[in-house]
Structure 1
């Protein structure tokens, strides 16, 4: 069974991986080894593909953070004694990602961690498919998952499933989907529909809007009217805190859909901006979050080690190394197999439990939080094992 135990100051916690007798111990982060050739006996050779080299400051920042998190995780596994971590720069370019993946495999990589974007991950996966080496990409795009590519990022489906399940169990089974007409809104709508069906609820109405201010203002009255006439008791929105949420939530309230009379559900991280959590239209809304206790431990440790706040994506690099470390005994000098990666009990990462699915997507254990006056308050904790509370 997966469990997380208390640890000394500055550590993430002893992470016990289901089905393995390995405990990740904290120590000073290592400085990843370099060089070519096959891995030494007893080590696992990991190729970390990061977006450095593009000339973009944001890419360099993320590349540094991903390396830092991966090295922290490798250090927890015993550093250079267990993980031969080699860094390859993709410049955020799919063709270069493919070239770097090919080079990494030629130099003995047994698994690839990264790259960052869906296009890069797809190119890298295709390039090394014949080698049997799997790719653990930082993307959350399920369209590129499958074959030898696994995505580590939390997906719309994962969030929709968790929220819909909780809502239906709480008596909010008549759900109206409210979504933007952009690609993200369309993908979110589909995920909400699947999650609602899986949870045993029903989609009773749908409302959509363009992302301009005038389009949102024009659509809001009709969305509110549909919610009332269909008897919806929950509104599941795809809106994002920094784009359409402030306006659409306010207009829905103004048109008679008070959060006190209908349950609002947010597919995205409505807690990303304190100002948004103070809006009338978000009060009482339910959102899904990574395990807050584990996330806070990671953030504090990263800050103490590297003197900067970790980007939300950096934890994916730690998760990847944690999973690889738990499975390295299965590699026996060769690639880590798909069968090993998809063992059902999963792993514990910096944001909670997660497991990789045979279709290349993932399940992540999420908490349910309610927005209350500028804070996201957990009302249903994240599970600590698959099959437990919350699943």
Structure 2
């Protein structure tokens, strides 16, 4: 699964890579995070922007899954009524902007979605002047802020959780290993910040050109730097679709690995499931949403719709859960920025989460380790804010 949702892809040798492009609209949404007044005694109009209409089967599947998850969440709200209105963006920024304007003209009080960073940014710009907030499915921090809140798990949140756990386990001397691309640089910054906040030290930084040959050439140098700086952990930004299979194996072959140096992954090492069989990731740590809650969602979704949910469809459920919890309070200002960013947060299928004033989010994540090709949770996800894990 892509670390940052994007459409740009290119292949390099035998490494199947996914490259993120963060070329966003020049105008970022900067309007204050206010929101329209609502009448909670009647169904609240909510616009759901999905990428249907692009002609790509993957977008149609994602659109259907997001819509199904949103409707499943609505069914769980009981007496709270949501008037869900679905708009197709074709995954394009221009159409997302048009659909956002149309949705607001037709009475939408909040926008849920869209998915891709460029279209979420465009929708946010369109909605800003109308005082409507956007809960986007993106995890790209560059579009967050003003009236745009991102629901996707962020590198910052993941890095902070993993770094905190590593320091508590005595792995405070950390070396960062990152791809030489935009996603890798964003990941590096997130790890640096997370380690600093956790009281650890970044003792070295290694990187590699985003190609098969680049990884092969860099791996021995990275291993040597880790040993020279007595690194207790290597924090990798690579994902399965990119360099992870090769870089983890080459570093393990160079004497790295859990017996000597703990591997930590910034991305999900359980998606796809085949990743769990990679020799280089055995013993590695990574973060994931509360697996028990998500498995319950998967089972319910499968029973209701006869197919497995898309991996990010739970974000649509979470968005509706947050909106429903606020509407339940019966206040006309339930969908303003101040209401959306209440410190107690919300509970969704991915666990507890809260929206921040800067448009980013905090999510309760579990720490898992890969043992014998299996995921083993070694530190459970927190069930509330303020406790262990935050």
Which TM-score band applies after superposition, normalised by the shorter structure? Answer: 0.7 to 0.9
- By how many angstroms is 1:41 displaced? 3.9
Tell me if the contact between 1:346 and 1:356 (Cα under 8 Å) persists in the aligned partners.
yes
Specify whether residues 274 and 98 from structure 1 end up closer, same or farther in structure 2 by C-alpha distance, changes over 3 A only: closer
SS at match of 1:112: strand
Gaps in structure 2 of 5+ consecutive residues: 1-37
Gaps in structure 1 of 5+ consecutive residues: 1-37
- C-alpha distance in 2, partners of 1:100/1:333? 25
- By how many angstroms is 1:312 displaced? 1.0
- C-alpha distance in 1, partners of 2:355/2:254? 43
- C-alpha distance in 1, partners of 2:144/2:330? 22
SS at match of 1:289: strand
> Partner of 1:348 in structure 2?
347
- By how many angstroms is 1:126 displaced? 0.9
- By how many angstroms is 1:258 displaced? 3.1
- By how many angstroms is 1:95 displaced? 1.2
My pick for the range that moved more, 338-347 or 212-221, is 212-221
My pick for the range that moved more, 272-281 or 357-366, is 272-281
SS at match of 2:177: strand
- C-alpha distance in 2, partners of 1:53/1:375? 38
- C-alpha distance in 2, partners of 1:40/1:250? 55
> Partner of 1:70 in structure 2?
70
> Partner of 1:209 in structure 2?
208
For residues 92-118 of structure 1, give each alpha carbon's deviation from its aligned partner in whole angstroms, at most 9, with x where no partner exists: 111111111111111111111011111
Counterpart check, 1:228 vs 2:257: no
SS at match of 2:111: strand
Specify whether residues 280 and 93 from structure 1 end up closer, same or farther in structure 2 by C-alpha distance, changes over 3 A only: closer
- C-alpha distance in 2, partners of 1:56/1:335? 36
> Partner of 1:381 in structure 2?
380
> Partner of 2:55 in structure 1?
55
- By how many angstroms is 1:246 displaced? 1.3
SS at match of 1:272: coil
- C-alpha distance in 1, partners of 2:361/2:331? 25
SS at match of 1:293: helix
Count of aligned residue pairs for this structure pair: 353
Residue pairs, 1:15-54, within 5 angstroms: 41-54=41-54
SS at match of 1:271: coil
- C-alpha distance in 1, partners of 2:115/2:253? 40
SS at match of 2:234: strand
- C-alpha distance in 2, partners of 1:275/1:97? 34
Specify whether residues 388 and 332 from structure 1 end up closer, same or farther in structure 2 by C-alpha distance, changes over 3 A only: closer
Q: Taking structure 2 as the reference length, what is the TM-score of the superposition?
A: 0.87
> Partner of 1:12 in structure 2?
none
SS at match of 2:270: helix
Residue pairs, 1:167-316, within 5 angstroms: 167-316=166-315
